[in-house]
Amino acid sequence: MEIDLELYRREVWVSISPPVQLSVIDIAPEHHRYTIVFVHGYGGDATQWQYQLNTFSVDHRVIALDLRGHGRSDRPQGDYSMPRIQEDLESALDVLGVTGKIVLVGHSFGGAVVTEYALAKPNRVERLILIATAGEFRLNPLYRLLLRLPLPLLRSSSPLVHKWLSAPPAVMHAWYYQNVLPWNGWRLFSGLAVPTLVVRGHRDRVFNKALFEEVSRTIPGAEDVDVGASGHLVMLERRQAVNRAIQRFLDQSQSSWRSESADTENHQSQKPEGLHGAQHGA
């Protein structure tokens, strides 16, 4: 039975000055195994996780946030940097009363957000799942050109893009230059020490294919799942395959992951240097 997600939506304060509320979907069964936190990507929103929220809310507490500037969350002027987004995430979890370990799931640039959180607070993260996440986010030339337009012109284009973007152009501009463009995961992924699953689609053309393929090779012991014929919104387009991959990962024991991690590292040590080593330095 499909859940009406809007019945579980609430607003949480993450900042007083300036005043900022995030809109959050929070479904918490009385007895749950994991707390799973879903983080959307650049221009996305919490409802993009609708199929995962419906499936995993049976046995787990599931939380999906509209990040600052996106969806129904507030859209303040100013700071959209990674440190600010990390503070928002931590504040939201505190307000929601999340105290134990969590499973973090990020889509696209949401994968960058959860990677940074897992590195800063490894003792708080039980497992990490990256979906359609790249090591860097190079927009195609047309999008880059549009983001160079003056802000008044970008604001006037809001009615044209609101049907396919969950953030207004001015917010997209701030996110891109303060956060998305400077982010480089190649220097960060190797420091991850939590069990990690990487899920990607074979037909994802939003970024260069090699930027997706290299992610799992850079993370120690990461499990890589290619769900096949899917574009960038993997969790919507191949929801059953994604849900099966997540479920298998959640069912895997910590000792099993560590054993497979060691086997993977031994195997990878025999491979030639990958993209990140050749183009981005050590």
Q: pLDDT band at residue 161, thresholds of 50, 70 and 90?
A: low
CA angle (76, 149, 155) in 5-degree steps: 40
Q: pLDDT band at residue 272, thresholds of 50, 70 and 90?
A: very low
Is the pLDDT reported for residue 160 higher than 70?
Answer: no
Q: Which domains does the chain have, with CATH numbers?
A: 5-138+185-272 (3.40.50.1820)
Cis ω for the linkage preceding 18 (within 30 of 0): yes
> Can you read off the two tokens belonging to residue 115?
């990677």
Residue of 70, 44, 57, 67 lying closest to 5 (CA atoms): 57
Q: pLDDT band at residue 138, thresholds of 50, 70 and 90?
A: confident
Q: pLDDT band at residue 231, thresholds of 50, 70 and 90?
A: confident
Listed in sequence order, the residues at least 6 apart from 120 whose beta carbon sits closer than 8 Å to its beta carbon are 86
pLDDT of residue 195: 97
pLDDT of residue 282: 25
The Cα–Cα gap between 247 and 258 comes to: 18
Residue of 176, 243, 182 lying closest to 38 (CA atoms): 243
Using the CB atoms, write b or e for 8-20: b if 16+ within 10 Å: bbeebebbeeeeb
Q: What is the mean pLDDT of the chain?
A: 85
pTM exceeds 0.75, yes or no: yes
Is the pLDDT reported for residue 203 higher than 80?
Answer: no
Phi and psi at residue 146, in whole multiples of 5°? -65, -40
How far are the Cα atoms of 70, 117, 131, 139 from residue 39, in angstroms, in the given order? 11, 11, 10, 20
Q: Contact 107/120 with Cβ under 8 angstroms?
A: no
Phi and psi at residue 101, in whole multiples of 5°? -70, 155
Is the pLDDT reported for residue 224 higher than 60?
Answer: yes
Work out whether strand 196-200 and strand 125-131 pair parallel, antiparallel, or are unpaired.
Answer: parallel
142-150 average pLDDT score = 59
pLDDT of 50-82, one tens digit each? 999 999 999 999 999 999 999 999 999 989 999
107-118 average pLDDT score = 97
Q: pLDDT band at residue 270, thresholds of 50, 70 and 90?
A: very low
Q: pLDDT band at residue 88, thresholds of 50, 70 and 90?
A: very high
CA angle (254, 258, 261) in 5-degree steps: 135
Is the pLDDT reported for residue 260 higher than 80?
Answer: no
The Cα–Cα gap between 61 and 50 comes to: 14
pLDDT of residue 275: 37
Q: pLDDT band at residue 151, thresholds of 50, 70 and 90?
A: low
Q: pLDDT band at residue 156, thresholds of 50, 70 and 90?
A: low
Sequence-ordered strand ranges (E) for 98-144: 102-107, 125-131
pLDDT of 243-259, one tens digit each? 999 999 999 865 565 55
